[in-house]
Amino acid sequence: MLTVSPDLRRYLTGFASSFGFVYTDAQESVFFTDPRYAEGARAALKNTFIAVEVAKSEETVLDYIKSKKIKTLAVPTERLTLVQYGMLKKRKFKLFDCMPALNAAMSVKTEEEIACIARAADIAEKAYLTLLEELKEGMTENETAGLLEYLMRKYGAEDRSFETIAAFGKNSSVPHHAAGADKLKRGMPVLLDFGCKFGGYCSDITRTFLFGNSADDEFKTVYGRVLEAHKIAAENIRDGMTGKSADALARDYLKKFGLDKFFTHSLGHGIGVNIHEAPRLSQTSTDVLKNGMVFSIEPGVYFEGKFGIRIEDSVTIENERVKSFMKTEKGLTVL
């Protein structure tokens, strides 16, 4: 098996790098990298079964594999570039797609992986609680996103999980709004979607709150219904359930109030070294949820030009039931 993608290298070795190849066969596992990473990789992988070798290029790695008389090579085909595919075919390797096996392995976490995600969740929540104390009228979305990312780093994160979403007022109706220069004003709803990495593993959390009280009773009513949809999903998802059935728990509740048509994305997604991986919790997903899987529960509704509400936790299935990594209050917060 040969893997090139940075996320798969990190998963297989636990070592982060911008260049490298992981080769595995029945006799050995070798992490090929360049001199920039060799010393760090040897220190990190000392006393493991993974050897570290310096390689000048991908050609060097493929020459090594060919020298072992290898004919069939497993590769994650969806991650290959056209150039990489051409190099492999040029050497007449018979290619086998290993991505399904990797997806299956990555979707169920070990105790060590879950511990990293739990730590990433703790850091994100600590940063969020500090941010609430420092939010001031007149701050921009960009300032808010930047401060939240700084705080996550300050509290021990190695990186953000994804680009932080900070959406004020009507901007919250855009599920993946890009933070800009809009300024915070009293009475505005605020939607923050953020997360960080620890030990290579991600956390993901969304909180929606009011910056100062608002006379908008519709917002408060809808918030309560999104929160109830979140609770229903969290309390009823079980080991052995499909992603489609999990999604329906929240969606069917929102449908009672005509809110399902404003729930424009899936209930959740797997979380690991990538912020989006298996399993999928969507209206069409046949993925089966299992003990040890980690995923998000994030029902949301969005009224174009008015406001949006999303409430998201990172969770795992433990002893056949959902266990949340998040501890912060999900009831409506009014600053």
pLDDT for the residue 215: 66
Distance CA 107, CA 177 (A): 28
Look up residue 214 and give its DSSP letter: -
Distance CA 157, CA 168 (A): 25
SS (H, E, C) 230-292: HHHHHHHCECCCEHHHHHHHHHHHHHCCCCHHHCCCCCEEECCCCCCEEEEECCCCCCECCCC
Instruction: For the domain covering 2-107, report its CATH number.
Output: 3.40.350.10
Residues 244/266, Cβ–Cβ less than 8 Å = no
Residues 203-224 have a mean pLDDT of 92
Does the structure show a pLDDT above 90 at 275?
A: yes
Domain boundaries, the chain: 2-107, 111-324
The model's confidence at residue 214, banded by pLDDT at 50, 70 and 90, is: confident
pLDDT for the residue 56: 82
Residues 225/257, Cβ–Cβ less than 8 Å = yes
pLDDT for the residue 254: 98
Distance CA 9, CA 16 (A): 7
Residue 74's H or E segment, with its range, is: strand 72-75
Distance CA 65, CA 95 (A): 13
Does the structure show a pLDDT above 70 at 77?
A: yes
The two three-digit tokens of residue 109, written as one number: 């976490």
Does the structure show a pLDDT above 90 at 259?
A: yes
Distance CA 296, CA 228 (A): 16
The model's confidence at residue 252, banded by pLDDT at 50, 70 and 90, is: very high
Residue 162 phi, psi (nearest 5): -165, 175
What is the share, in percent, of the chain residues with pLDDT greater than 90? 96
CATH 3.90.230.10 is the classification of domain 111-324:
yes
Distance CA 241, CA 119 (A): 27
Q: Which of 191-195, 211-215, 222-226 has the lowest mean pLDDT?
A: 211-215
Residue 39's H or E segment, with its range, is: helix 35-44
pLDDT for the residue 329: 86
Residues 203/271, Cβ–Cβ less than 8 Å = yes
